Structure 1
């Protein structure tokens, strides 16, 4: 990578994403159980995992790119009010996870496909709640105007890529699952609390591209 390129620019992110190498690990090794080795919490069998896709939208602001995140609506049944990447379930009619991520992103926050350049994918992230999530990597051209779907999203905001890729901002925390401790990452930013699956995906992104 050229020394002239800022490591936290969208161009550097693109180069790192395209330079990913396969590790040979199974998809089940990427996800919540990666941070909880040996935990007895029952795993959902692979054939029963629900398929989903999220977009990791890195917004090109020159030398200092940002990541576009959402706050889920307080009226939703699952993961109410949590910070998340735009995305959702993969429908049977979606030809690819990339298609599903783009479709869900436009449905949730009105970010048009014309502003999004898909540059790759990370290995699927398996959540403890039974989802197999395909994280789709992208670079987003600025100048977009978002139209939030109030049934799904309360807010959209940007966090500096530099902040999210700094391991000093990756804190370990835990909650009790029954009588057992369940570990997760959290990355508080200003008045936003990034944690759980979203923080886990960010942590894997850091490990694969920036560590």
Structure 2
């Protein structure tokens, strides 16, 4: 079947201590991916002109981020999930005074991870699990008491590979 299209915002905010990436902890009552760490985003609706519009709309619905406050930088490579979604990551700069208001029906928490933590190649572990009769491989990493895995970790690893190709060194690792 054709892939279902989705988009996520990869929101970067610059703090005094350096750049941070904004992530969410999904609400425990959700049917899909409940309780998981995620980037704000979701399905691209027919009314969305494109992936960036969908990512901004979803970020507004999920964490109250005003779409007009985000400075879009571009796209990462699309990511195909094991559940059939073709996810387009959209990178954007979020103002440091942005207020995040989680929608409790979708998001349990909004938190930030220092970008150097996510750019550390040593943190990414390739794991495997049998799901629906097939072995699925996925990246996972931890930050404090949170497990970041699956599509989110895959997208973040793609960002890391884009910014710090394996042939170069980077400050975090």
- TM-score, with structure 1 as normaliser: 0.75
CA distance in 2, matches of 1:176, 1:99: 35
Of the two, which has the highest radius of gyration?
1
Please name the residue that 2:159 is paired with: 205
Confirm whether residue 182 of structure 1 aligns to residue 126 of structure 2: no
Could you report, residue by residue, the CA deviation over 1:12-70 in whole angstroms, capped at 9, with x for unpaired residues? xxxxxxxxxxxxxxxxxxxxxxxxxxxxxxxxx4xx21111000001112561000000
2:123 equivalent among 145, 150, 169: 169
Question: 1:1-211 alignment to 2 at 5 Å?
Answer: 45=1, 48-62=2-16, 64-178=18-132, 180-211=134-165
CA distance in 2, matches of 1:178, 1:88: 23
Please name the residue that 1:30 is paired with: none
- Partner of 1:194, secondary structure, is strand
CA distance in 1, matches of 2:41, 2:120: 24
- TM-score, with structure 2 as normaliser: 0.91
8 Å contact from structure 1 (residues 117, 140) kept in 2 = yes
Structure 1 alignment gaps of length 5 or more = 1-44
8 Å contact from structure 2 (residues 82, 136) kept in 1 = no
Q: Which has the higher strand share?
A: 2
The alignment of Structure 1 onto Structure 2 pairs a total of residues equal to 165
8 Å contact from structure 1 (residues 73, 152) kept in 2 = yes
- Partner of 1:114, secondary structure, is helix
- Partner of 2:111, secondary structure, is strand
